[in-house]
Structure 1
Amino acid sequence: MKVEREVTIAAPRETVWDFLWDVPRLAGCIPGARDVRTIEERKTYTAVVADKVGPFKVQFPLTIEVVDVQAGERLRVRANGRDAAVDGLVKVDLDVTVTAAETGTALKVAADISVLGKLGTLGHSVIVRKGTDIVDRFAQAVRAQLEAKA
């Protein structure tokens, strides 16, 4: 499932880009994220994301890898994890781009999300709704964090 969102942030492009590498602050924008740890700076991280998907409460220990960086412009990340309690597997390829906009900076978030196991049986509409909600909340939280500083 692919989800794309774009928000315009009233902050300079450099400020937005720097925020993407402030992992503790950025993680605070991910709904349900906690226990974020740096394994290798700017390469590998771990985190736990807890949420409710349909009737299931899930908790995914994630491994997050930075797969591509175009400094100041684009960041590609891959995350995957398994919730053993509900037999669910999630894989996310996240592509974040930062471009100049008339009123600040455009932040585009494109996510390709795969949900397997018991969670995958919930149906496409439930998964799409949850995935879209998470990406929306993430993009809005990033904007709120950055505009609060402006």
Structure 2
Amino acid sequence: MELTNEFTVAAPIGEAWPLLTDIERIAPCVPGFRLTGSSDGEYQGTMKVKVGAVQTTYECVVRFVEFDEEQHRAVIAAQGKEVRGQGGVTASITSTLSPEGDGTRATVVTNLDVTGRVAQFGRGILADVSNRLVKQFVAKLETTMLEPDPRPAEGPASGRGGATSSGSAASPPTSSASAAAPPGDDEALNLLSVAGAPMVKRLVVPALLLLMLVLVLRALARR
């Protein structure tokens, strides 16, 4: 399944690209997501989603497979697995930035492979909820742009792990165990507040939880 999202941020591309490719700094902007660590070019995190009183946690792994600073294009491979269930999702996420006036437009194309009960639901529902989450993500992202980077001036070590590059591509930032950037929000993403009760009633709870994971992975891609 392929999903496409576009959004703009009120910052020139020279400022937007470093931030949108810095998982440490954008992790707190993703509803329900918490960055837990990194190793060998991979980022690990957890995603908490709840529907009413029911909460589910997913373990997520994200890594760059392509990173082209000259073209402002990055490709990310993402995986998520339900901690106490059989559901899971894999995604290939291609993000491209381009100037738009005084700001920057991001185009994100996500190819999804979903297992579990969420697989029975169509693209329309996934796209609708993802668009709602993108709006939340962008609002937090623009606030983050106004704040100073909480990490030491030298920043994290560079390196893209197994990512390939083209042109004058540079390495995406990777985190260190002692990085001071906020890891993310421990509060679970409340699906009822995002999608609304009518949509929730159309979905089985485990399916909705998987859906939220997909959306978070897509948000990470914009980093």
Query: When the two structures are superposed, what TM-score results if normalisation uses the length of structure 2?
Result: 0.56
Structure with higher strand content? 1
Please report how far the alpha carbon of residue 126 of structure 1 lies from its aligned counterpart in structure 2 after TM superposition.
Answer: 4.6
Q: Tell me if 1:15 matches 2:15.
A: yes
For residues 47 and 22 of structure 1, the distance between their equivalents in structure 2, rounded to whole angstroms, comes to: 14
Amino acid at match of 1:8: T
CA distance in 2 between counterparts of 1:32 and 1:109 reads 20
1:64 — aligned with what?
A: 62
CA drift of 1:78 comes to: 1.0
- State the match for 2:179 in structure 1: none
Q: Which runs of 5+ in 1 are unaligned?
A: none
| Residue aligned with 1:110, SS | strand
How much has 1:89 moved relative to structure 2? Answer: 0.6
CA root-mean-square deviation: 2.7
- Structure 1 residues 8 and 49 mapped into 2: Cα distance closer, same or farther (>3 Å)? same
Equivalent residue number for residue 106 of structure 1: 105
The amino acid of 1:5's aligned partner reads N
Cα distance in structure 2, aligned partners of 1:135 and 1:113: 17
For structure 2, the residue ranges without an aligned partner over 5 or more in a row are 148-223
CA contact (8 A) 1:36 1:47 kept: yes
CA distance in 2, matches of 1:127, 1:56: 20
1:28-64 CA deviation, whole Å, 9 max, x = no partner?
1222111331213xx3111111214799633111111
Alignment of 1:1-150 (within 5 A): 1-40=1-40, 43-52=41-50, 57-72=55-70, 73-121=72-120, 123-124=121-122, 126-146=125-145, 148=146
Larger Rg: 2
TM-score (norm 1): 0.78
2-side partners of 1:134 and 1:29: how far apart? 10
Q: Distance in 2 between matches of 1:31 and 1:92?
A: 18
| Partners of 1:53 and 1:91 in 2: CA distance | 22
Q: Following the alignment from structure 2 to structure 1, what is the Cα–Cα distance between the partners of residues 117 and 82?
A: 10
What number of residue pairs does the alignment pair up? Answer: 146
